[in-house]
Amino acid sequence: MNGSVVLLHLAGAVALLLWATRMVRTGVERTYGSELRQRLRSVVKRPVLAVSFGAALAIALQSSTAVTLLVGSFVGSGFVGGVTGLMAVRGAEVGSALVVKILNYDLTLLVPICILAGTIIFMTTERRDWRQNGRILVGIGLLILSLEMIGQATEPLRHSQLLPVIVSYLSSDPITAYLLAALVTWLFHSSIAAVILLTSFASRGFIQPELGLVMVLGVNLGSSIIAPILTRNAPPKTRVVPLGNLLMRGAGSLVALLLFLTFQPPLSLLGSTSVDQIVNAHILFNVLILLAGIPLSGLVLRATEALVSLNTPQGEQQPLAAQEVSALDPSVLDTPSLALANATREVVRVCETVELMLQRIMDLYEKPDQARIKELAALDDRVDRRHAAIKLYLSRLATSNLSDYEALRTQELLGACVKLEQVGDIIVRNMLAQVRKKMNRKVEFTEEGWRELSQFHAFVLANARLAFNVLISRDEHTARQLVQEKDRLRDMEKDTSQRHFSRLREGSERSIETSTIHLDTIRDLKQINSLLTSMAYPVLEEQGLLRDSRLRMARK
């Protein structure tokens, strides 16, 4: 087998590894993402719990970068302190390192089990959460399969004449090896994939443990660069945690490299095989950075904030409703297809604004803030302006000679825009009023009550995203799923109300104080869900799947 074919097989195996990791991560985010965010936001306020939950979340998401971005957003929103955020990220890095350890065990039997079970679950149910669980199982199966493929793809390299030359050069030039590993990790956007590739080479004797350790340190440098690059255009406060992680982990990897090259400690203490030595070195490094971060996090935070401040031009921080650009070009009204495309783009922007409002409102329930309340109200003004402009634009288009589909699409966009404007009104006029009431009365939900509200809100937010997808894709399957989710929400509302009334009967003082706010919020969220679900009706009516406002049995 020639070198090009070997590299092609290896590239395919690595691509499958990255894809499988993404499948697992997106499946977890779609099924448990909102709940995990709520849990993280509650525990991340305590450093010890933040470390442990950060590690667990990194294992679940198969990515420490995802946790870093999530924690960074919490710090940027003011829900979490910078030091605690850094500690949560430190835990995430340890969790990501433990994933590599787990994947180095012999898990081949799980490949057919996970793929078969995941496929059966995904194909035999319409429930979104079950389908995502099936997706997770298939992703795990493909992840383990990709490890086998990497091993098989690297096997022919035993006979390569070029590889020993490259390895020999890298062994004699550790700085180049360190930087190369950092570059590869950044390209992969995954430290897990990079370390697994190293262990595959080490298991076949292609690289020695000393070179493997140097490259593991480079992997940690490359992994710490990813989040700062992804957040380079984010608000300054959001950039603090990713940049702080770069200072701690990136600088720590460089210090560790210099110490290793200077003292050349024996690697036999890390394990009996080269693979164990590389994996354990990866874990040990992140544990040491975690321990060093306990006394140094405050200093790192101050240094990071100073760096962010230096790189933030005056006037960079703008209010949420600062600038607007319209896609409604009046010059193309004589071409209905182009005009409808423009109107669709503008409605998508309204969808994005409404989604942002729906996300932020629960943050205000948890931590009311007058400045953020005004920002959210400003977003509703943006929705109103865009709604008026779209309505006028489509009204002018309706006077043109439209085909049946174009006329139907015009009415569909008008209806969706009206519903989005109504959702914005509910958030600002009803739910913000509840936020102010909670803030003025200085009352707090019970832990159980807040968990129920958060789960109900997460369900509605997920349905909102489905509704926006239906508006753009007009996909029959997604539209049917959205209407089915409405029935699940109705059952959830009944359960939530029953549990709330049960707490009232038990005389819970906090439940009594927040009863009106709790019930009115559930009512508002349910109304928002109904409005968004109705955006799927035109698609279902066109397919003949609606009858007397009820969803017909799906066609097989």
In sequence order, which residues have a C-beta less than 8 Å from that of residue 427 and are 6 or more positions away? 354, 357, 358, 361, 376, 380, 524, 528
Half-sphere exposure for 347 (CA within 13 Å, toward CB) = 30
Name the residue type at position 428. Answer: V
pLDDT of residue 252: 92
Residue 509 included in any domain: yes
Q: Please check whether residues 397 and 429 belong to one and the same domain.
A: yes
Domain-terminating residue out of 310, 342, 358: 310
Closest CA to 131 of 120, 142, 145, 140: 120
Token pair belonging to 238: 């959001």
Q: Please check whether residues 262 and 351 belong to one and the same domain.
A: no
Q: Could you please report the per-residue DSSP string of 480-519?
A: HHHHHHHHHHHHHHHHHHHHHHHHHHTT-HHHHHTHHHHH
- Residues 472-503 have pLDDT tens digits of 888 888 888 888 888 888 888 888 888 888 88
Instruction: Spell out the alpha helix ranges (H) of 367-431.
Output: 370-397, 404-425
Residue 327 included in any domain: no
Q: Please check whether residues 232 and 272 belong to one and the same domain.
A: yes
pLDDT of residue 363: 84
Q: What is the CA 49 to chain-centroid distance, rounded?
A: 21
What is the total residue count of the chain? 556
pLDDT of residue 318: 45
How far apart (Å, rounded) are the C-alpha atoms in residues 227 and 234?
Answer: 11
- Apex CA 227: angle with CA 224 and CA 233, to 5°? 140
- Cα separations (Å) of 148 from 107, 140, 145? 10, 13, 5
Q: Please check whether residues 27 and 106 belong to one and the same domain.
A: yes
How far apart (Å, rounded) are the C-alpha atoms in residues 194 and 199?
Answer: 9
Residue 453 included in any domain: yes
How far apart (Å, rounded) are the C-alpha atoms in residues 230 and 223?
Answer: 12
Residue 551 β-bridge partners: 546
Residue 174 included in any domain: yes
CATH number of the domain where residue 489 is located: 1.20.58.220
Q: Could you please report the per-residue DSSP string of 271-328?
A: -SSHHHHHHHHHHHHHHHHHHHHHHHHHHHHHHHHHHHHHTS-TT----TTS------
Half-sphere exposure for 452 (CA within 13 Å, toward CB) = 23
Q: Is 52 exposed, middle or buried (0-12, 13-18, 19+ CB in 10 A)?
A: middle
pLDDT of residue 316: 45
How far apart (Å, rounded) are the C-alpha atoms in residues 10 and 12?
Answer: 5
Token pair belonging to 230: 């992804």
Residue 142 included in any domain: yes
pLDDT of residue 173: 93
Q: Sign of torsion, CA 498 502 507 510?
A: negative
Residue 328 included in any domain: no
Residue 457 included in any domain: yes
Q: Please check whether residues 265 and 371 belong to one and the same domain.
A: no
**Collapsed DSSP state (helix, strand, coil) of residue 547:** strand
Residue for token pair 């937010």: 461
Domain-terminating residue out of 256, 278, 310: 310
Q: Please check whether residues 435 and 490 belong to one and the same domain.
A: yes
pTM for the whole structure: 0.64
**Collapsed DSSP state (helix, strand, coil) of residue 178:** helix
pLDDT of residue 525: 93
**In this structure, how many other beta carbons lie within 10 angstroms of the beta carbon of residue 372?**
18
Residue 421 β-bridge partners: none
Give yes or no for a contact between 225 and 293, defined as CB atoms under 8 angstroms apart: no
pLDDT of residue 179: 95
Q: Please check whether residues 443 and 347 belong to one and the same domain.
A: yes
How far apart (Å, rounded) are the C-alpha atoms in residues 351 and 410?
Answer: 17
Secondary structure letter of residue 429 according to DSSP = I
pLDDT of residue 182: 93
Our count of domains for the chain comes to 2
In which residue ranges of the chain is pLDDT below 70? 1-3, 33-47, 77-80, 311-325, 400, 545-556
- Cα separations (Å) of 224 from 36, 326, 345? 23, 38, 36
pLDDT of residue 532: 92
Q: Please check whether residues 340 and 295 belong to one and the same domain.
A: no
Q: Please check whether residues 243 and 367 belong to one and the same domain.
A: no
Domain span holding position 290: 3-310
Q: Please check whether residues 358 and 306 belong to one and the same domain.
A: no
Q: Please check whether residues 188 and 259 belong to one and the same domain.
A: yes
pLDDT of residue 497: 84
Q: Please check whether residues 244 and 107 belong to one and the same domain.
A: yes
Give yes or no for a contact between 452 and 500, defined as CB atoms under 8 angstroms apart: yes
Instruction: Spell out the alpha helix ranges (H) of 246-273.
Output: 251-263
